Amino acid sequence: MWKKVSVKLTEEQQVKNRGRLLVNCPDQPGIVAAISKFLYEHGANIIESSQYTSDPEGGAFFIRIEFHCEGLLEKREQMEKDFEELAANFSMKHDFTYGSNRKRTAIFVSQEPHCLMELLWEWQNGDLETDIAVVISNHENSRQVVESFGIPFHYIPANKDIRKQVEEEQIRLMKEYNIDLLILARYMQILTPEFVSHFPNQIINIHHSFLPAFIGARPYERAYDRGVKLIGATSHYVTNDLDEGPIIEQDIDRVDHRDHVTDLKKIGRQIERRVLARAVKWHLEDRVIVHGNKTIVFQ
């Protein structure tokens, strides 16, 4: 007698056959139908789909599709080639990504380790789809904890007088470690336009205020002086305009007249940790589309 055997795919097999498609184009009828038909004809099963139209009359259309496709590793080159005709018909900007291509990240940190620790814990728990390849700091105090996770740590002293040499070394390390995403986890150095130009929409920063309030240095002190009742944090992509890049995520907590600067900083650290972790997670999962100086985030 034959027994029916149920074969469950391993997580590794599922990841290898998992793909994502991000699309941005002028809005018009038939986009979703055309993409769905394309994926069906290439043997793909849609697992998750989210879309947004900025304006039903002449606006921009955005969609994120996650799909499963048997033998995707062998099919993906032809799939991308075949998609070009459809993309041209709808004037699409598009990007295919694959579960088998795990993004590699570098974390930059200065003296305060709370955001770094949050990312390391999330990564250790398997909640960040990435390989943390290296941590770079202009201070030595995080070395021991970073190396305890088995992650290389590079100490590179930095100040405005040696900024060019520092950034040249940092760029070299990004190439050496084949980095896809740079995370500024309270890295308290201003990056030059030359450095930023090497990594467009690949640098995520955490700013310790609810932007656009209190751009720049000492936001908690300035918030206290202003007597605010809400404090927050903002995670954004880095551009050449200080703290004005496309915003990915923000959050706030309430404070009152009894909270002094030290209290605001303590509360703020909790906000910073969760805001940065969420922004990084969404980027790694290809849930963010940058459109001008804004983002569409498919949570």
CATH number of the domain residue 73 falls in: 3.30.70.260
Query: Does residue 40 sit in helix, strand or coil?
Result: helix
Pairwise pLDDT comparison (244 vs 33), residue with the higher score: 33
Whether 243 is a known active-site residue: answer yes
Look at residue 90 in the predicted model and tell me its pLDDT. 97
Look at residue 10 in the predicted model and tell me its pLDDT. 62
Region 259-275: what's the mean pLDDT? 95
Is residue 129 assigned to a domain?
yes
pLDDT in tens, 156-175: 999 888 999 999 999 999 99
Strand pairing partners for 253?
231
Distance of CA 267 to the CA centre of its chain: 24
Do 144 and 291 lie in a common domain? yes
| pLDDT of 18 strictly over 50 | yes
CB 42 within 8 A of CB 69: yes
Nearest Cα residue to 23 out of 296, 274, 266, 276: 296
**Structurally, how many domains does the chain consist of?**
2
pTM of the shown model: 0.92
**Mean pLDDT, the chain, integer:** 93
Is residue 17 assigned to a domain?
yes
Range(s) of the domain holding residue 163? 103-297
CB 153 within 8 A of CB 146: yes
CB 191 within 8 A of CB 113: no
- Cα distance between residue 47 and residue 38, in whole Å: 15
Is residue 139 assigned to a domain?
yes
- Cα distance between residue 278 and residue 299, in whole Å: 10
Is residue 165 assigned to a domain?
yes
Q: Residue type at 140?
A: E
Question: Is residue 29 reached through a cis peptide bond, with omega within 30 degrees of 0 on the bond before it?
Answer: no
Look at residue 208 in the predicted model and tell me its pLDDT. 87
Nearest Cα residue to 102 out of 179, 173, 46: 179
Look at residue 211 in the predicted model and tell me its pLDDT. 81
Buried-state track 19-30, b at ≥16 Cβ within 10 A, e below 16: bbbbbbbebeee
Task: Indicate the pLDDT class of residue 9, thresholds 50, 70 and 90.
Answer: low
Do 81 and 132 lie in a common domain? no
pLDDT in tens, 120-141: 999 999 999 999 999 999 999 9
Do 79 and 149 lie in a common domain? no
Choosing from 47, 72, 98, the residue where a domain stops is 98
Look at residue 56 in the predicted model and tell me its pLDDT. 80
Look at residue 61 in the predicted model and tell me its pLDDT. 97
Residues 6+ apart with CB under 8 A from 4: none
Nearest Cα residue to 54 out of 23, 26, 82: 26
Task: Indicate the pLDDT class of residue 11, thresholds 50, 70 and 90.
Answer: low
For strands 60-69 and 44-53, give the pairing.
antiparallel
CB 16 within 8 A of CB 69: no
Q: Of 180, 243, 259, 286, which residue is the catalytic one? A: 243
Do 283 and 155 lie in a common domain? yes
Residue 90 sits at φ, ψ, to 5 deg, of -110, 10
Do 203 and 245 lie in a common domain? yes
Look at residue 209 in the predicted model and tell me its pLDDT. 87
Is residue 167 assigned to a domain?
yes
pLDDT in tens, 209-237: 888 888 888 898 989 999 999 999 999 99
| pLDDT of 58 strictly over 90 | no
Pairwise pLDDT comparison (223 vs 24), residue with the higher score: 24
Task: Indicate the pLDDT class of residue 251, thresholds 50, 70 and 90.
Answer: very high
